[in-house]
């Protein structure tokens, strides 16, 4: 063994003897913990692919019907706590038409996600009046059934309940999508 190797080995032994093994490459540590909350707000919305529409009567006599107009509604909600089968979509006119009924027929719901769907509350065309009219009900697919995301078409037409004079009648139709 060379003198340089002997001196290096002796130095290393002396260092370990003085410092000890505890001082070599061991570091102290400290940590902190957090409680992390992610808040997801409740959201509910309904939008339509059209704003205003016109229905044109084919004739003016009682029993006549207008042409039809289909409006596609997009619904989105993440806290629909209504029971399975409960009505969550209603329609209402601000006032009744004179000599006319507004009728709506709910089409087939197209889901784009979620764990509940919508289904027509009553089959076929139903009269929408100036009080809340049931249009669609919630149907649970899985789990909690609180998430609804998709689109729903409703086809509208007018029906003459009496002979009509020539005039334009304008009323406001409001659809309400609710969580309960």
pLDDT of residue 22: 53
pLDDT tens-place string over residues 46-75: 999 999 999 999 999 999 999 999 999 999
What lies within 8 Å, CB to CB, of 32 at 6+ separation is none
Which helix (H) or strand (E) segment is 3 a member of?
helix 3-19
pLDDT tens-place string over residues 18-55: 655 555 556 899 999 999 999 999 999 999 999 999 99
pLDDT of residue 25: 56
pTM: 0.82
Q: How many other CB atoms are there within 10 angstroms of residue 48's CB atom?
A: 12
In the chain, pLDDT over 90 holds for what percent of residues? 85
Q: How many other CB atoms are there within 10 angstroms of residue 25's CB atom?
A: 5
**For residue 173, pLDDT beyond 80:** yes
N- to C-terminal Cα separation, the chain: 90
Q: How far is CA 114 from CA 120, 136, 139, in A?
A: 18, 16, 11
Domains along the chain with CATH numbers: 44-177 (2.60.40)
pLDDT of residue 27: 81
């Amino acid at each position: 063994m060379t003198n340089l190797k002997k001196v290096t080995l002796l130095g290393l032994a002396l260092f370990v003897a003085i410092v000890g093994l505890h001082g070599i490459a061991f570091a102290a540590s400290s940590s902190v913990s957090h409680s992390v909350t992610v808040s997801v707000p409740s959201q509910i919305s309904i939008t339509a692919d059209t704003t205003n529409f016109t229905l044109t009567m084919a004739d003016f006599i009682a029993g006549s019907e207008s042409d039809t107009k289909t409006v596609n509604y997009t619904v989105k909600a993440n806290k629909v706590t209504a029971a399975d089968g409960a009505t969550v979509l209603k329609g209402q006119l601000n006032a009744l038409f004179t000599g006319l009924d507004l009728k709506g027929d709910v089409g087939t719901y197209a889901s784009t996600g979620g764990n509940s769907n919508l289904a027509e509350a009553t089959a076929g065309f139903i009269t929408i009046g100036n009080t809340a009219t049931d249009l669609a009900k919630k149907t649970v697919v899985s789990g909690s059934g609180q998430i609804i995301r998709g689109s729903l078409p409703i086809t509208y037409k007018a029906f003459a309940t009496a002979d009509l004079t020539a005039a334009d009648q304008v009323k406001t139709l409001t659809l309400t999508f609710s969580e309960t």
